[in-house]
Chain A
Amino acid sequence: MAAGIALKPMTRGAVEESTGQRTEAADQEFSAVVQAHRLQIFRFLLASTRDIDLAETLTQECFLKAHRNWSSFRGDSSAMTWLMRIAINLEKDHWRNRRMQFWRHTRTNSVDLDEASEWLPSGERSAEQQMLAREQVGHVWKAVEGLSGRQRTVFLLRYVEDQELSEIAQATGLSEGTVKAHLSRALGKVRAHLRGKP
Chain B
Amino acid sequence: MSMGAKFENEDRGLGVDAELGEALKNFRSNVHAWSEAEYGRARQVKTVHELSWRVAAGWALGCVLAAGSVTGILYERHHQLELQKTAAAEQAARQQKLEAEQRASKEDEDLLAKVDSDVSREVPSAMEPLAQLMSENEAQ
Contact = CB atoms under 8 A, between A and B. Distances in A.
Interface residues of A, number: 35
B27 A160 contact: yes
Contacts of A79: none
Interface of A: 1, 38-39, 42-43, 46-47, 52, 55-56, 116-117, 119-121, 133, 136-137, 139-141, 156, 158-160, 162, 164-165, 180, 183-184, 187, 190-191, 194
Interface stretch (B18-26, B63-71, B84-92, B114-122): B18-26
Given A120-B29, A121-B29, A183-B14, A46 B23 contact: no
A63 B3 CA distance: 27
Contacts of A136: 22-23, 26-27
A165 B47 CA distance: 37
Query: Chain A at the B interface: mostly helix, strand, loop or mixed?
Result: helix
A183 B10 CA distance: 11
Given A159-B3, A160-B27, A120 B33 contact: yes
Nearest to A2: B1
Given A42-B39, A136-B22, A119 B14 contact: no
A120 B6 contact: no
A180 B43 CA distance: 38
Interface residues of B, number: 29
A115 B111 CA distance: 108
A41 B29 CA distance: 16
27 contacts: A39-B35, A39-B36, A39-B39, A42-B38, A43-B39, A46-B35, A46-B38, A55-B38, A119-B30, A119-B37, A120-B30, A121-B33, A136-B22, A137-B27, A137-B30, A140-B23, A140-B27, A159-B3, A159-B28, A160-B31, A160-B32, A162-B6, A180-B14, A187-B15, A187-B16, A187-B20, A191-B20
Contacts of B19: 194
B2 to A, nearest CB: 9
A164 to B, nearest CB: 8
